[in-house]
Amino acid sequence: MTVLRFTPAAALLFLVAAQAQTPTAPTEDRVGFPEGYAGWNLLYVLDRPDNRQIRTVYANEMAASVTDGNQSNYPYGSVVVMETWSALRNAAGEPMLDANGRFQKDPAAMPTIFTMRKGRGFGEAYGPNRTGEWEYVSYTAAKTLATAPSGSFTCANCHLQAGQGKDWVFRAALRIRPGGDPISTGAVPSAIIKNYTYIPGNLTVKAGAKVTFYNDDVVAHTISDDAPEGWTSQQMRAGTGTMTLSFPTPGEFNYHCSIHPNMKAKITAIP
């Protein structure tokens, strides 16, 4: 008589085998290289300090017709492109900022072109990683595949985080508005506003530095000089408003919010 015993070692083998299964993904490229994307509608430019990249995001006319980033009605045919580009760095490896406090593209680098397209019935092949009717591919500047459809489950799996409410598009709410509205600059924040608080409340910078504020609160705020007749910013929109201030000379800048006068903080510029 043989006794089949399910040993812990067998259980482990079974687990390993189950994990080794590759998640499903489309096998054919239905996204297509986005010819002429740099001339499309600019949605946002995000400086990514963690991986030292500039991410420039464009939308074709259909995707750009969705002006509210929380709307889930991107029409079929919508294409969103994110061009990722390494930032120019100094000898210490830190991004070199331009006159506006923004990262600059490294002219020696080549971009990668992340592309998502929505189509009727798209996305089914992703199975549990499906994000609505989007499919994903990334391309090199030479228009070859960087992430082929078969590997694009990684894209879908991560974009799940953006959620159905945004139709799995992460940052459409960062849309750059025409007319010089300084919201949504995508610059790296040196200070944020959260829960009616400027963070940090006491910031010390070197004279010559630029400080970018990011309004991460659910209501609008301003930055207003405490000095009588002092300068005041326009309202920074909830969630997306940004503001960059320069501190060319040493000194103290005490400021408050004109809407909530008890919000107070200070920036000290040292030589």
Which stretches of the chain are DSSP H helices?
A: 8-20, 61-64, 153-159
| d(C-alpha 172, C-alpha 63), whole Å | 10
Q: Is 113 in the site for ligand HEC (CB under 6 A)?
A: no
Query: Shortest Cβ distance from residue 221 to Cu ion (Å)?
Result: 3
Residue 257 binding: pick among ligand HEC, Cu ion, none (C-beta 5-8 Å cut-off by kind): Cu ion
107: left (phi over 0), alpha (psi -120 to 50) or beta: alpha
Query: Shortest Cβ distance from residue 107 to ligand HEC (Å)?
Result: 22
Query: Shortest Cβ distance from residue 46 to Cu ion (Å)?
Result: 25
Q: 52 vs 266, which CB is nearer to ligand HEC?
A: 52
Query: Shortest Cβ distance from residue 168 to ligand HEC (Å)?
Result: 7
Q: Is 139 in the site for ligand HEC (CB under 6 A)?
A: no
- b/e per residue 136-172 (b: at least 16 CB within 10 A): bbbbeeeeeeebbbebbbebbbebeebeeebbbbbbb
Binding ligand HEC (rule: CB under 6 A), the pick from 170, 213, 214, 253 is: 170
Q: Is 129 in the site for ligand HEC (CB under 6 A)?
A: no
Q: Is 66 in the site for ligand HEC (CB under 6 A)?
A: no
| d(C-alpha 77, C-alpha 58), whole Å | 14
> Among 201, 171, 170, which residue's Cα sits nearest to residue 186?
171
Binding ligand HEC (rule: CB under 6 A), the pick from 86, 131, 138, 233 is: 138
Query: Shortest Cβ distance from residue 227 to ligand HEC (Å)?
Result: 37
Interacting positions 229-268 with Cu ion (CB under 5 A): 257, 259-260, 263
- b/e per residue 39-54 (b: at least 16 CB within 10 A): ebbebbbbbeeeebbb
Binding ligand HEC (rule: CB under 6 A), the pick from 45, 54, 64, 80 is: 80
Q: Is 198 in the site for ligand HEC (CB under 6 A)?
A: no
Measure CA of the first residue to CA of the last residue in the chain; give whole Å.
Answer: 87
Q: Is the dihedral of CA 169, 186, 174, 43 positive or negative?
A: negative
Q: Is 269 in the site for ligand HEC (CB under 6 A)?
A: no
Query: Shortest Cβ distance from residue 58 to ligand HEC (Å)?
Result: 9
Interacting positions 189-228 with Cu ion (CB under 5 A): 221
CA 13, 18, 19: angle at the middle one, nearest 5?
Answer: 100
| d(C-alpha 258, C-alpha 42), whole Å | 32
Q: For residue 10, give the 3-state DSSP assignment.
A: helix
Q: 106 vs 226, which CB is nearer to ligand HEC?
A: 106
Interface pattern 3-42 for ligand HEC (x via CB under 6 A)? ----------------------------------------
> Among 25, 37, 28, which residue's Cα sits nearest to residue 114?
37
Pairing relation of β-strands 202-206 and 264-270? parallel
Q: Which parts of this chain interact with ligand HEC (CB under 6 A)?
A: 46, 48, 55, 57, 80-82, 114-116, 136-138, 147, 152, 154-155, 158-159, 162, 169-171
